[in-house]
Amino acid sequence: MSTRPEITRSAVRANVAGLSAYSGPEDPGQLARRLGRPTESIIKLDANENPFGPSPLVSEALSQYGTYHVYPDMSQRLAREALSEYVGLPPEHLMLGNGADELIDLLMRAYLDPGDEVVDFPPSFGMYAFNAHTQNARVVEVQRDGRFNISIEETLASLTPRTKLVLLTSPNNPTGNVQPTSDIRRLLETGHLVVLDEAYAEFAAADGQGFESMMTDVANYPNLVVLRTFSKWAGLAGLRAGYAVLPLGVAEHLWKLKPPFNTNVAALVAVRESLAGPGRI
């Protein structure tokens, strides 16, 4: 049988052929080997993982879990019920993902046709631009000022009829800036879909500086999506558990794209235990 590498080369979508692979943080073991040092000497700070790890309830529940051979509940019922209480909205508004990363990807797949625009505020979370490019969308960058704040006027001016998603992170990664909710409300009034990434909300809520989550506002705005994750505050980055708080009109479409078993049984158990445990903020 002859191999025909030119076919696989020419059959790939032109957009994908032009992409470069995501360059993420280097694995600590690999870094240690490259530097010729013991792995224990590497202090890993590049991915905002929680050095304290998860609640002890998580490892206890996972060691006792008896049905690893059965596929996860694709409706994520128990985890969504537990989350519902934490979030303060009914489970219909909630979807778990294989990390919040997967939900960013699902949103982009649901909303972006080639040539559509997303608004990004660099420096911000790298997955927004990465995923937008996989959909052949255009990333419109609104520049931050010298203190990394966002001008809402400039943001409003950046919107065009092709704008599909505005990707706001509050508190922002990597700068920590919090976006006033009054600004976000002005943006929501435009009718554009605003994806508000609150990955660090639990830390901001704990520091007493007046951070206000917009999670429950999702019930009142059909164009507000809030993203959260268990990777950071709950120390579960390795298990991949994030969630989206979705208006029902958005949820309807994301369920059609969600891979049925996207959130594995260990992550679903860990989510419930984290919400029950003493580590809960």
List interacting residues with ligand PLP (CB under 6 A). Answer: 48, 99-101, 125, 169, 173, 197, 199, 229, 231-232, 237, 242
Q: Which is nearer to ligand PLP, 27 or 153 (CB)?
A: 27
> Would you state the structure tokens that stand for residue 272, as one six-digit string?
């419930």
Q: Which is nearer to ligand PLP, 3 or 52 (CB)?
A: 52
Q: Which is nearer to ligand PLP, 99 or 279 (CB)?
A: 99
Question: Smallest distance from the beta carbon of 134 to ligand PLP, in angstroms?
Answer: 15
Gap between the Cα atoms of 119 and 151, Å rounded: 13
For 209, phi then psi, to 5°, come to: -95, 15
Question: Smallest distance from the beta carbon of 93 to ligand PLP, in angstroms?
Answer: 18
Q: Which is nearer to ligand PLP, 121 or 125 (CB)?
A: 125
Determine contact, residues 253/265, Cβ cutoff 8 Å: no
Q: Which is nearer to ligand PLP, 98 or 135 (CB)?
A: 98
Measured from the Cβ of residue 157, the count of other Cβ atoms closer than 10 Å reads 10
Gap between the Cα atoms of 55 and 39, Å rounded: 24
Question: Smallest distance from the beta carbon of 68 to ligand PLP, in angstroms?
Answer: 22
Question: Smallest distance from the beta carbon of 69 to ligand PLP, in angstroms?
Answer: 26
Q: Which is nearer to ligand PLP, 21 or 70 (CB)?
A: 21
Determine contact, residues 133/180, Cβ cutoff 8 Å: no
Question: Smallest distance from the beta carbon of 10 to ligand PLP, in angstroms?
Answer: 33
Give ∠ CA 62-66-71 in degrees, rounded to 5. Answer: 95
SS3 content of the chain, % helix, strand, coil (to 5): 40, 10, 45
Question: Smallest distance from the beta carbon of 147 to ligand PLP, in angstroms?
Answer: 19
In one-letter notation, the amino acid at residue 134 is: T
> Would you state the structure tokens that stand for residue 6, as one six-digit string?
């030119």
CB closest to ligand PLP, residue no: 99
